[in-house]
């Protein structure tokens, strides 16, 4: 989500689809790697779950994830199910190759 040399602080938002019909939970993995790099070759920085979601048969884009990297290098990932409003969050002390401006 956050490209190399992204100005800091930065906030990025993206919508993700469910991977299976009637899912009631989602595992969110925060990875560090190069653009277009396979997930298996990335470094996992952390993971968290969004649980107790209402089951739906469709695979609509309903999981909004906001990545907020502050000036102190703290990365906060907040996941929200757009259908139910349920949220989960993970904070990571993130100091990497990104440049401050």
The full set of domain ranges for the chain reads: 10-93
pLDDT tens sequence across 18-67:
999 999 999 999 988 877 778 888 889 999 999 999 999 998 889 999 99
In order, the DSSP letters of 20-76 are STT---EEEEEEE--TT--GGGSEEEEEEEE-SPPP-SS--EEEEEEEEE-TTSEEE
* Residue 5 confidence (pLDDT): 75
**What CATH number was assigned to the domain covering residues 10-93?**
2.60.34.10
Tell me the pLDDT tens digit for each residue of 14-31.
999 999 999 999 999 998
Neighbour tally for 22: CB within 10 Å: 11
d(CA 10, CA 57): 35
Residues 89 and 13: their CA atoms lie apart, in Å, by 14
């Amino acid at each position: 989500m956050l490209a190399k040399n992204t100005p800091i602080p930065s906030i990025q938002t993206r919508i993700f689809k469910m991977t299976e019909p009637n899912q009631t939970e989602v595992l969110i993995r925060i990875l560090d790697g190069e653009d277009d790099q396979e997930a298996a070759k990335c470094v996992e920085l952390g993971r968290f779950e969004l649980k107790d979601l209402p089951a739906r048969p469709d695979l609509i884009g309903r999981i909004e994830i906001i990545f907020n990297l502050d000036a102190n290098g703290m990365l906060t990932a907040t996941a929200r199910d757009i259908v139910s409003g349920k949220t989960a969050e993970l904070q990571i002390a993130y100091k990497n190759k990104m440049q401050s401006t």
